[in-house]
Structure 1
């Protein structure tokens, strides 16, 4: 626990400022909402991309500490275990390791992994465990912010989940399916919430900031269709013999042929690298290069902040998303949305708006089916808009409620 009671200390893992702007939205939502509730707070982000996150860090009270997968899995976890088993070495470990010091002094560790402990993602299971085990070993409470978990049919995932998920103080489920999976595992440390990114507040300066790079008159005088591709979907579609980029090109050309304007928006971008992990920009550049370079396509060709992206998405009349948090941003801005997804995490969020029928799996993706579902959305736009307007306040309330839970945990309530 923090030795200075006037200053609360919170450690965060699983999110970032750079790369995936959904992770940035979750992180910044926590900084905003907890600052309002706790007053003087010092945050430490255990970062997978420390140099990139430091370069984009606008917060004086947010420190960024290196915790890439190797550092986290080997160094940080080993030191945390040594801290637990060898009390005489604790002062030395804390003095020499910024990560361990942040965990030991923290009132709570926020795990902001968007989807953890789920069947089909066993290759990430070690990381899911490694993210929370150091805090468990130094006896800092773990609060798993709203995320998807389960299903738990795979024996390895089920065994790990039964061991480690009960050790969290709280697991916030971000949808009905996750909650049912977690209850079926016997978990009782649950709160039915909504994704933390729904709590993200805009600063009011986004239009001015975005207009420095793009002519926002593009959005004037009629509907713009936002299209957000995903390299995760590309890998899944291409692995079964498809051509995801070509399908996205064909869909955008279909919209152009109907006289639509299109905003091509990567929601996960890492500046200065061609690597595709957490980086949709190379894919979007490929898609844009294949298109007729007419004035009816706006390509967001650079990394922007989560608030700036949310502003741009909010200017669209309709939205087609393959990135989960691009979907969250479009729903948060009450933009009717069609989703191409790969897990239950999309559908369960749309369920909160009674809009679950507007998601379909990548296994159904064909140019014809995508065009058909888009036409259905366009025809049902009024009904979809009404449901967004009806349910959004409740969803935002469920999202921000986790800030109250974290504040209560920090205060020992």
Structure 2
């Protein structure tokens, strides 16, 4: 039996559980399709990812920004320019993994987009070693564009056409990509919609949380985001105060609230990819009571999806918390910061249930939630109608990757 090798970058097991959901979806679906597959994750947090890795066919290799930007990119360039040195250069684990891989999966959730120019160098550094090593790059479903900024437009026109395929994660991204003149694009849906649970989630979650909380009364899930906090506070707002006010409003109406961080890094107070400090402060300002359940630890992407699926309604600010709620057919209100939220909701004809952080006020949030609650049955019907097609569009990219690997 042929052993296939797949390298992955841009996702993780630890920290942002959206990244974990994308990574695990790839491992699950491609193992199903290809059989004997060895995966290598080029990891920004190698120690944390390695500690949470339970997949026997997944290896973790260090690729933090400094290592990726300097060491891996330099060695890959030398590998291209100096063929006699290739055996020596392949002693580096990352270079060897990329050189031997049938494909590199780029799972960056949003790349090459205006307003995020500070990440542009990382977007390039993530795929350039594979290009120099002659390994095809498959950009899994993600948001790209817009491309009005001259720097982003120039760099995007150079590098995006070099990918074997880019799966666009919604209509808006697809239109941006077509406007740039890209022809190597396929319309799809986020890979995390393909994530499968194994049925053990309730048992594992119950070791940390009292699941009888969900037995009686409606539960509203609330998932704050430190990214939103920074944007709201930068314009003079009080994100934490607004979340506290909203949650207490829900409780005053007789609802239970699940306060759930969807991006957690255990053992650190740093806030990059870590909403736990934010949620801890919000929880600390709330009155105590049995109508509030706070998830105060890092859970797996499957455990989080299980908990979100137990909610009656959901309010999301983390993108992949929204994906999980939609995947579990939970009516959802979204507070976002880019087109990536709206274009996914469009797949369900539910784009009206997203608004930008610039519109966030206690009054607007309370009113929009009241509207969602009043039209819950209508929203539920659209979720039930469109979810099978969205999942199929997510799984489609696994078929495309498997076809590319078999041809390698």
Question: Shorter-chain-normalised TM-score: which range?
Answer: over 0.9
Structure-2 separation of matches of 1:92 and 1:298: 54
Q: Indicate whether 1:86 and 2:82 are aligned.
A: yes
What residue number does 2:306 align with?
311
Q: State the 1:412 CA deviation.
A: 1.0
Tell me what 1:198 maps to: 193
Q: How does 1:1-80 map to 2 (within 5 A)?
A: 6-80=2-76
Structure 1 residues 165-201: Cα deviation after superposition (integer angstroms, max 9, x where no partner): 0000000001000000000000000010000000000
Separation in 2, partners of 1:201, 1:168: 28
Query: Segments of 4+ in structure 1 off by > 4 A?
Result: none
Secondary structure, aligned partner of 2:220: strand
Distance 2:207 2:289 in 1: 21
**Aligned positions of 1:66-145 closer than 5 A:** 66-95=62-91, 97-145=92-140
In the alignment, which residue of structure 1 is the partner of 2:208? 213
TM-aligned CA deviation for residue 223 of structure 1:
1.1
Tell me which residue corresponds to 1:256: 251
How far has the Cα of 1:221 moved from its partner? 1.7
Q: Quick one: distance in 1 between partners of 2:216 and 2:300?
A: 26
Aligned to 1:223: 218
1:372 corresponds to: 367
Match status 1:241 vs 2:236: yes
Q: How many angstroms does 1:222 deviate by?
A: 2.1
Distance 1:59 1:340 in 2: 34
**What are the equivalent positions in structure 2 for 1:143-222 lying under 5 Å apart?**
143-222=138-217
How far the C-alpha of 1:6 sits from its partner, in A, is: 1.1
Could you report, residue by residue, the CA deviation over 1:183-241 in whole angstroms, capped at 9, with x for unpaired residues?
A: 00000000100000000000100000001111101001221000000000000000000
Alpha-carbon shift at residue 101 of structure 1 (Å): 0.1
Aligned to 1:356: 351
User: 309, 324, 329: which is aligned to 2:324?
Assistant: 329
Deviation by residue 1:64-117 (Cα, 9 ceiling, x = unmatched) = 00000000001100000000001111110002x000000000000000000000
Question: For structure 1, which runs of at least 5 residues remain unmatched after alignment?
Answer: none
C-alpha separation in 1, matches of 2:195 and 2:290: 32
1:248-285 CA deviation, whole Å, 9 max, x = no partner? 00000100110110000000000000000000000000
The DSSP-based 3-state class of the residue aligned with 1:171 is strand
CA distance in 1, matches of 2:281, 2:291: 17
Give the whole-Å Cα distance in 2 for the aligned partners of 1:371 and 1:271: 32
Q: For 2:130, what is the secondary structure of its paired residue?
A: helix
Q: In structure 2, how many angstroms separate the alpha carbons of the residues matched to 1:171 and 1:229?
A: 30
Secondary structure of the corresponding residue to residue 159 of structure 1? helix
- Which residue, out of 276, 285, 291, partners 1:281? 276
Q: Distance in 1 between matches of 2:193 and 2:171?
A: 17
- In the alignment, the residues of structure 2 paired with residue 107 and residue 174 of structure 1 have an alpha-carbon distance, to the nearest angstrom, of 23
Quote the RMSD (CA, aligned, Å).
0.6
Tell me the distance in 1 between the aligned counterparts of 2:23 and 2:288: 36
**In 2, distance between residues paired with 1:266 and 1:296?**
18
The answer for the alignment partner of 2:398 in structure 1 is 403
1:385 aligned partner = 380
Aligned residues: 408
| Cα distance in 2 for residues equivalent to 1:283 and 1:293 | 17
Choose 214-223 or 117-126, whichever is displaced more: 214-223
1:17 match: secondary structure: coil
